[in-house]
């Protein structure tokens, strides 16, 4: 089903629920993995995804079609994940070292995390990046988004995104060589 068909269904009160189910079928998994790479644990990713879907459902009538539906959804998911991370950072009184150890233990113990050693190292390297660079790297490397789509989602220029990605890649390379 096309995005236009889904949007038409969502606009029709009698088909809105079915339209939302179709939207979720099409995008829920991609949004989940986009969020998951940002917030790490399965439970947190599910919580953020649910918040994202509620926002989408409540705000779909305000979607103006200036960007693709996919881009609009990713922007909401990204913003929800960033909001979650900021709240989590505020409430956390643990030291950075304690957080890093906890994160590593969560990743290894997480039944949804099935990665080999190099992927675990990459995950640790990503966690060392500043938030903006981590988001840009995830969107480009894992989600294979174009810089133009990323620009729409993040509201940042293509040039700035390319620079962020380059800096992130260099920092990851340095981390992998030295750890």
What tens digit of pLDDT does each residue of 97-128 get? 444 444 555 544 555 555 567 778 888 899 89
What pLDDT score was predicted for residue 158?
96
94 pLDDT above the threshold of 50: no
The CATH number covering residue 26 comes to 1.10.1740.10
Dist CA 126 CA 162 (whole Å): 17
36 and 105 co-located in one domain: yes
Among 66, 94, 114, where does a domain finish?
A: 114
What pLDDT score was predicted for residue 89?
76
4 and 82 co-located in one domain: yes
Q: Which two tokens stand for residue 13?
A: 């009160």
42 pLDDT above the threshold of 70: yes
How many domains is the chain partitioned into structurally? 2
Dist CA 147 CA 157 (whole Å): 9
Q: Which two tokens stand for residue 157?
A: 């220029």
What pLDDT score was predicted for residue 112?
55
Q: Domain span at residue 124?
A: 116-179
- Please check whether residue 31 is in contact with residue 74, taking contact to mean a CB–CB distance below 8 angstroms: yes
The CATH number covering residue 142 comes to 1.10.10.10
46 and 121 co-located in one domain: no
Triad 109, 89, 53: Cα angle to 5°: 75
């Amino acid at each position: 089903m096309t995005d236009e068909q889904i949007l038409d269904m969502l606009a029709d009160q009698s088909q809105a629920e079915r339209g939302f189910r179709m939207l979720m079928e099409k995008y829920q998994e991609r949004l989940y993995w986009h969020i998951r790479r940002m917030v790490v644990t399965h439970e947190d990713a599910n919580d953020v995804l649910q918040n994202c879907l509620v926002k989408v459902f409540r705000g779909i009538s305000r979607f103006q079609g200036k960007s693709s539906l996919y881009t609009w959804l990713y922007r909401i998911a990204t913003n929800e994940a960033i909001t979650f991370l900021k709240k989590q950072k505020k409430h956390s009184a643990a030291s950075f070292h304690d957080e890093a150890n906890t994160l590593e233990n969560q990743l290894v113990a997480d039944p949804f995390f099935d990665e080999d050693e190099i992927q675990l190292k990459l995950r640790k390297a990503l966690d060392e990046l500043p938030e903006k660079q981590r988001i840009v790297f995830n969107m480009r490397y894992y989600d294979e988004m174009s810089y133009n789509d990323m620009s729409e989602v993040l509201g940042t220029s293509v040039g700035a995104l390319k620079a962020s990605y380059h800096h992130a890649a260099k920092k990851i390379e340095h981390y992998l060589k030295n750890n």
